[in-house]
């Protein structure tokens, strides 16, 4: 399947749309290539993408520097095949989207709450990035395997 307007849309939601959802969006795009359209949004968008989230993804070759913080309501007029919430607050307020078939809830710690030196905070961002990467790459592998079944 090529990446077109008809490709299924996967929407990753969290509260602030500054860290976890953007990392998940970038990681899933990198894993799935052209098979899905992937976007992220928040229930209370922060208005920015956290610089440390951008930095730790760039460390593994994924550029999310052009991402913007968006409200989840921006997607209410679109067919969203799958919603994935990555924090409890977003899961509790998540609307049902047109065309929605799947909803997964995979909560991760919020690295934006990390304290300490920059290096200590980076370690938290890296840990959360790696946890998100394992889950979302496994999700993509499952979707790919499912598509190959006769």
Catalytic residues: 14, 87, 94
SS (H, E, C) the chain: CCCCCCCCEEEEEECCCCCHHHHHHHHHHHHHCCCCEEEEEECCCCCCCCHHHHHHHHCCCCCCCCCCCCEHHHHCCCCCCEEEECCHHHHHHCCCCCCCCEEEECCCCCHHHCCCCHHHHHHHHHHHHHHHHHHHHHHHHHHHHHHHCC
- How far is the C-alpha of 57 from the C-alpha of 30, rounded, in Å? 11
Nearest Cα to Cα of residue 32 among 21, 24, 41:
24
């Amino acid at each position: 399947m090529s990446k077109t307007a008809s490709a299924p849309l996967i929407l990753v939601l969290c509260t602030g749309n500054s860290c976890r959802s953007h990392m998940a969006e970038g990681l899933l795009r990198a894993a799935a290539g052209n098979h899905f359209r992937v976007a992220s949004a928040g229930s209370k968008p922060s208005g920015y993408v956290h610089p440390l989230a951008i930095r730790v993804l760039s460390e593994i070759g994924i550029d999310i520097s052009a991402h913007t913080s968006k409200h989840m309501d921006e997607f209410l007029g679109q067919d969203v095949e799958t919603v994935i919430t990555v924090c409890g607050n977003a899961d509790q307020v998540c609307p049902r989207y047109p065309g929605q078939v799947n909803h997964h809830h995979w909560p991760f710690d919020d690295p934006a709450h990390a304290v300490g030196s920059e290096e200590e905070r980076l370690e938290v961002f890296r840990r959360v990035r790696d946890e998100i990467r394992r889950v979302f790459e496994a999700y993509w592998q499952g979707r790919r395997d499912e598509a190959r079944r006769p």
